Amino acid sequence: MKKMYSLVLLALLLFAGCKPSADPALLGDAQLLHRNMKQLTEVIIHDAFSPPVASRIYSYTSVAAYEALVHSKPGFRSVATQLHGFGAMPQPEAGKDYNYLLAASKAFFTVAEKITFSKDSLINYEKGLYQQFASLLDEDIYQRSLAYGEAIGNKVLERTTRDMYKETRGMSKFLGTGQAGKWKPTAPDYLDAAEPHWQRILPMVLDSSSQFKCPPPPAFSTDTASAFFRYANEVYTTTRNLSPEQETIARYWDDNPFVMEHAGHTMYANKKITPVGHWIGITGIAAGMKKLDAVETAEAYLMTSVAIFDTFIGCWEEKFRTQVVRPITVINDHIDRNWQPMLQTPAFPEYTSGHSGISSAAATVLTARFGPDFAFEDTSDLEYIGMKRRFSSFADAAAEASISRVYGGIHYRSGIEAGAAQGTKVGHYIWDKIKTRQ
């Protein structure tokens, strides 16, 4: 009896020390790409990257993942030589076996680790992921796949050293010119402008930051009959009479990644998903609903992220060329000095609305991919703000995102309409220029 007890105890100890085997479905599971993207979003939130910088991170990592997967499915082709500044990607060895999903994960995280700050959480996630693949693959296939993914990632990273990002880190800050009608730092924190040189960043597809110029904004005027003043007064009257639904819409699309909260003498930051992360989340939802395979999923992330990235570059060219003053400044100076917007005003000029632009760009490419009547429930922000909403189409969601900026008191109607028009043009251009299929 004692001997049997010892054997049972030994068996239990041995079983406890064994790691459960990985699910073989992992080897071709497109959901892995969504999980990888979720890890990246968490890091972007933690590091509080500005929306333009977040767009750069999402686009480079998405390009890497797609390029590592493209040879796994006939009919798809590399897009690297169709984008500015990449060049041809490394090729898999002929006649050799690869797990391209593992390669895509390695490419994705090779890039992500270099262009984010808090990479420890990524590395810990990767270790667990790679261990699962190692338990399912022959050693040579496992090592070959990792090496191929790393080679793709390193090739993508070469462009990050030539896109003017590093150079713009050392350029001058922007606090406004002091001219009437021009942007100046806004309450409550009066921060200098975010990314005042972003228009210098090398686009992925656009020929230049000014390729899709917007019409001139309404001329600044304090004349109550002027177009500009009417737009400013619309913001004032609208925000003073918001319905519960309008308040919900403003809060839902806030997506400010770094809101400074003030409580007496205490100040703290409230971190949230960026507008980019919100639309990347919508992309993932659509891909999941359609049960896209790994290559198609990577393609969807690629098209959305590149459209957003290039739209930000064009938008920032408009913002810092026109330098339109924000509603809070105009309303406090000329209408009601005690008025406050529902949302905290972002630290950069008003015209055009970046959220409107990137939402329209994303909606344009997603509509081209999934159709004009693609209804979905958006849960992208659910775990961050406890809210979700249903939309009848991507265009419906983009339109709501745009008007939310007026409800929130941070944009004029002229800024959201011009931004949406610009984003739509960029989205169509991206979709027409990038050819992922043979």
22: pLDDT strictly greater than 70? yes
Per-residue pLDDT of 392-401, as tens digits, reads: 999 999 999 9
What token pair was written down for 116?
A: 């984010």
8: pLDDT strictly greater than 70? no
Phi then psi dihedrals of residue 404, to 5 deg: -60, -25
Please state, rounded to an integer, the average pLDDT across all residues of the chain.
Answer: 93
Q: Determine the pLDDT at residue 269.
A: 53
Using CA atoms, how far apart are residues 332 and 393, in angstroms rounded to an integer? 37
What token pair was written down for 104?
A: 């895509």
Determine contact, residues 413/347, Cβ cutoff 8 Å.
Answer: no
CATH 1.10.606.20-classified regions of the chain:
174-433
18: pLDDT strictly greater than 90? no
Determine contact, residues 36/301, Cβ cutoff 8 Å.
Answer: no
Q: Determine the pLDDT at residue 248.
A: 98
**Quick one: what percent of the chain has pLDDT higher than 90?**
90
HEC profile for 153-195? HHHHHHHHCCCCHHHHHCCCCCCCCCCCCECCCCCCCCCCCCC
CATH architecture of 26-165: Up-down Bundle (1.20)
Per-residue pLDDT of 118-152, as tens digits, reads: 989 999 999 999 999 999 999 999 999 999 999 99
Which of 361, 357, 362 lies closest to 416, judged by CA?
Answer: 357
End-to-end, the C-alpha distance of the chain in Å comes to: 70
175: pLDDT strictly greater than 50? yes
268: pLDDT strictly greater than 80? no
Per-residue pLDDT of 280-313, as tens digits, reads: 999 999 999 999 999 999 999 999 999 999 999 9
Using CA atoms, how far apart are residues 228 and 219, in angstroms rounded to an integer? 6
Residue 345's Cβ-side half-sphere holds a number of Cα atoms within 13 Å equal to 29
Q: Determine the pLDDT at residue 15.
A: 39
98: pLDDT strictly greater than 90? yes
Per-residue pLDDT of 321-362, as tens digits, reads: 999 999 999 999 999 999 999 999 999 999 999 999 999 999
- What mean pLDDT do residues 200-228 have? 98
CATH 1.20.144-classified regions of the chain:
26-165
418: pLDDT strictly greater than 90? yes
- What mean pLDDT do residues 358-381 have? 98
369: pLDDT strictly greater than 70? yes
Determine contact, residues 202/85, Cβ cutoff 8 Å.
Answer: yes
Angle at the Cα of 430 (from 278 to 312), degrees rounded to 5? 50
Q: Determine the pLDDT at residue 2.
A: 41
Query: Which residue has better confidence, 188 or 16?
Result: 188
Q: Determine the pLDDT at residue 234.
A: 98
- What mean pLDDT do residues 60-71 have? 98
Q: How confident is the model at residue 270 (pLDDT cuts 50, 70, 90)?
A: low
Element (H, E) at 389: strand 389-391
CATH class of 174-433: mainly alpha
* Cβ count within 10 A of residue 246: 18
408: pLDDT strictly greater than 70? yes
